[in-house]
Amino acid sequence: MVSDIKNRKKQLNNDEGKNNKEINSKEPIAPKYGPMPKHTSVRVFSRGIVIVGVLVYVWYFSKGGRESILAKHDVQYQGRGQNVECNKDYLREIQRFTNCVPKKCGRFVNDRIITDYEADVLQWFAKRGMAKTEVSGGVTIIDLHSGTMSYKDGFINFHTSKKNNFITPIDLKTYKSVRQKIQAAVAQSFGIDPDHLYLTHPTFFSKLTYKDAVTLHDEYWHVHVDKYAYKSFHYTTLLYLNNYNINFKGGRFMFVNDFNEPTKNITIEPRKGRVSMFTSGAENPHFVERVTEGERFAITISFTCDPSKSINDPTFKDDN
Ligand SMILES: *[C@@H]1O[C@H](CO)[C@@H](O)[C@H](O)[C@H]1NC(C)=O
């Protein structure tokens, strides 16, 4: 008898360790154990909390008209985002590609994909590379895939000009694994198959400063739609390599509510290691606010659903 009680106690402990459903299923013996009503009230209470939480969440994300900061620089997010209705042309075009149509169009921010270390490696790389060049305007670009880098008012090929000794195997390895992680995150965020996404051109590092624009290309602060500028784009991602308000002022990324008559900004404040991802159609018109101080580093990584527009991860070119 004593051992019987011990066994039951043991069983109860085990049950408590698992979940309450199992206790419920043993209805005939359940009343013997005093704690049951207490469990119920605790459960009712915690359900109440969950319901209130859900209501607050729904209210918070549905108040569209007032919400304007999508991501603050001093907060870490894991998949905060908004859905927007897909632009019709975007949808019609992307439907030509199977397993690549987003469940919903929209924009997402995630601070848990890329580590601080990875962001540092890529920032050091960008700084080393850009130290080898001089530009007239406020935008400096390195495109590892085509081997081009901003130079004065135009571009040079850093492979042929032998300015490429700033690239190390660690840089390329980090770049590739970052690209893979972001690709997986895009697929997850938009409910598509990662194997039907391809890296596309242009994918590049950028440094933005307060310098005045010299060419039109330097004027990053105009509202634009990625799909209009680059036909192959289906999903655009950005990885920020340093911090808004610490390393630079201004330079916030802004979606606008209307391409022609914007009356509202939906803002993403850059943060080191922050990834933002969005569908590239006219549902996501955006611009980058002018940098007023410091240097803003980021990588634009673009994806297409069209295999014929895919580009490869960069490798060392033969130095003959
Ligand atoms: C959006 O942000 C830009 C740049 O900071 C600013 O000039 C503009 O007035 C803002 N628009 C609205 C509607 O707040």
Cβ of 254 less than 6 Å from ligand 1: yes
Compute, in angstroms, the gap from residue 289 CA to the centroid of ligand 1: 8
Residue nearest to atom 3 of ligand 1 (CA): 289
How many C-beta neighbours within 10 Å does residue 203 have? 21
CB-ligand 1 contact for 178 (6 Å cutoff): no
User: Do residues 285 and 225 lie in contact, with contact meaning Cβ atoms separated by under 8 Å?
Assistant: yes
Cis check: omega of the bond before 202, within 30 degrees of 0: yes
Q: Would you call 296 a catalytic residue per the annotation?
A: yes
Strands laid side by side in the 275-279 sheet: 78-84, 105-110, 275-279, 235-240, 296-304, 198-208, 139-143, 148-151, 154-157
Active-site option among 179, 252, 290, 296: 296
The CATH code of domain 67-309 reads 2.60.120.620
Q: How far apart, in whole angstroms, are the C-alpha atoms of residue 312 and residue 94? A: 21
The predicted pLDDT at position 62 comes to 53
3-state secondary structure of 96: coil
Report strand pairing: 69-71 vs 265-268.
parallel
HEC per residue, 67-87: CCEEECCCCCCEEEEEEECCC
Ligand 1: residue whose CA is nearest its atom 1: 265
The per-residue pLDDT for 158 is 74
CA torsion angle 233 286 72 295 (round to 10): 90
Residues in the chain: 320
201 lines ligand 1 (CB under 6 A): no
The predicted structure's pLDDT at residue 36? 57
Could you write out the DSSP letters of every residue in 188-226? HHHT--GGG-EEEEEEEEEEE-SPPPSSGGG-TTS-B-H
Best residue among 263, 264, 265 to mutate for probing ligand 1's pocket (most ligand atoms within 8 Å of CB) is 265
Nearest alpha carbon to residue 197 among 288, 102, 303: 303
Helix (H, G, I), strand (E, B) or coil at 59: helix
Measured by CA distance, the residue closest to atom 4 of ligand 1 is 289
Domain with CATH 2.60.120.620 in the chain: 67-309
Per-residue confidence (pLDDT) for residue 215, from 0 to 100? 76
CA of 283 to the centre of ligand 1 (A): 18
Residue 34 CA to ligand 1 center (angstroms) comes to: 62
For atom 10 of ligand 1, which residue has the closest CA?
265
- Split the chain (320 residues) into runs of 10 and give each run's mean pLDDT: 49 47 50 58 71 62 64 96 97 96 98 98 94 87 86 78 78 96 97 96 94 79 93 97 98 95 95 98 97 97 96 69
Helix runs in the chain, H state only: 2-17, 20-25, 36-62, 88-94, 116-130, 169-190, 226-229
What whole-number distance in Å separates Cα of residue 76 and Cα of residue 171?
25
CA atoms within 13 A on the CB side of 203: 29
Q: Whole-prediction pTM value?
A: 0.78
Strands 291-294 and 248-250: antiparallel
Distance between Cα 265 and ligand 1 center (Å): 6
Q: What is the pLDDT of residue 21?
A: 44
CB of 257 closer than 6 angstroms to any ligand 1 atom? no
